[in-house]
Amino acid sequence: MVKTNSRNLEIFVRTNTDYYSREFRRIGAKSGFITSFNLMAALLGPIWFGARNIWNYALAFLIIETFSVVQIVRGSFGDITKDAREKIEKIQSTIDFRNQQLLTAKQNNPDKVEVYERAITSLERAMEGYVININTIEESAIWITISGVFILLITKCVQGFISNIILERRYSEWLSDHSINQGMTANHFLLSFIFTFIIMFLSVINYSFPGYLVFLDQFPTHPDIRINSINFVESSFDLAVVKGDAVFTAITIGIRSVLDFLELLFVTTPWVVIVTAIVVLTALSAGVKTAIYSAAFLSYMGFLGFWEKAMTTLALLGTAALLSIVIGIPLGVFCARRYRFYAIIRPIMDFMQTMPAFVFMIPVIAFFGTGKVAAVIITMIFGGTPVVRLTVLGLRGVDETIREAAIAYGASKWYLLRKIDLPLAAPSILAGVNQTVMLSLAMVVVASLIGAKGLGQDVLEALQYANVGQGILAGVAILFVALILDRVVQGRRRV
């Protein structure tokens, strides 16, 4: 057993086996912190950690050491007053130009003499300030160097004291899982050295001697690359608009049908009917107390004159949320047991959630124009992904033992989904529905930019004309619409 442990340690550390064997025994014998100093780790720093394939610590210490080395070089040899000198040169050239204007004014336009004299005096005072600044910077050079040395020494000590502890922990992990790369090969050492050298060298040159390497100032690019990319994207969209006209028309007709129906339902129907229906629905779904709150919210919208716009917003959000839920839940059910398909869908959903709304608004307008249909599609893109993600999460979180018991008693796939999976995953699915509704509501103001109207239009006008009162009242109305939708959808089964 001892030989096996020695052999494993030799394979892992590759160098100084006796030293590491002794230090690892000392570290393992105590549960608390133990003093163990590794001189090579302290001297090599991030190179040592990188060679041992402990890159998380290597990168952290590389940043700190690079900063300290930059401070040392800047304070000792660096051109730390370059920016101030350049500003002085610019001011001096301006002063020379103003002096020429002053001489001309004294000969031809005496009325301007006083103006130019004041300008020259102001510039000279500014230049005196930069001269004082240069002297201050030069005097602080020694302290910059001292601070760099101090940070470097502290970092080296920390590296030396924690290196063996970290390596012993990694060795314990490696013993149970030999797939972990233990590092300390020639390739690891060379890679760590080259990477550390490049980062430190370029950082020192850039901060200590600005302008010495011109290619560090700006990324090497060419305007034609951007122009060609723009032309390619535009031509691709033009082709897609022409070839996909029938598809986009069909989508527009489908969304418009749902939207027109909901607008007819909420906007045209008398307010008494709508208020009664919503209050009763809320009472049945979430209880009488919540229904009273809903009645108060609806009264707020009505008394402040937001009723029609609130119902328009409700129709727009209802369309977007309804379509997102109708598409999202079946898609989540389909992806829950199909891992490869979900691996394809997930990056698309990541893109939909992380891309700013104003960016994906551009292609939507190109395909569908402006108006309510485009607003619904933008809202679906932004708010439709949570219901898919949380449906997948909920279905995958169903206890496998329950499913296996149901299958053992002869449950079919449809019965299993309808009676086991969906009821147990319901809290997660309802949370996804809630998030979809909330995110859809967050797009009200953005959608108003392309003609969606509703409450978002009032907020947008308040922003344009700095009308604080209108903006706050309309924003509260949007909040109340969200709360009513949330209470009706979630009911008593809030998560």
What does each of the 495 residues of the chain score in pLDDT, given as a tens digit? 344 467 888 888 888 888 988 888 888 877 777 888 999 999 999 999 999 989 999 999 999 999 999 889 888 887 777 777 777 788 888 888 888 877 877 777 777 777 777 888 887 787 777 777 777 777 788 888 899 999 999 999 999 999 999 998 888 888 888 788 877 888 888 999 999 999 999 888 888 887 777 777 777 778 888 889 888 888 888 888 888 888 888 888 888 888 888 888 888 888 888 889 888 888 887 788 888 888 998 898 888 888 888 888 888 888 888 888 889 999 999 998 888 898 888 888 888 878 877 787 888 888 888 788 888 888 888 888 889 999 999 998 888 888 888 888 888 888 888 888 888 888 888 888 888 888 887 777 777 777 777 788 888 888 777 788 888 888 888 888 878 877 777 665 443
d(CA 150, CA 129): 31
d(CA 446, CA 356): 11
pLDDT of residue 490: 67
d(CA 331, CA 329): 5
d(CA 324, CA 261): 17
Q: How far is CA 418 from the centre of its chain?
A: 37
Domain with CATH 1.10.3720.10 in the chain: 241-490
For the chain, the C-alpha Rg in angstroms (whole number) is 34
3-class DSSP assignment, residue 74: helix
The token pair at 255 is: 């969304």
Contact by Cβ (8 Å): 478, 340: no
d(CA 486, CA 476): 15
pLDDT of residue 289: 85
Residues in contact with 192: Cβ distance below 8 Å, sequence separation at least 6, in sequence order: 46, 47, 48, 49, 50, 51, 58
d(CA 141, CA 145): 6
pTM: 0.67
Phi, psi of 128 (to 5 degrees): -60, -40
CATH class of the structural domain 241-490: mainly alpha
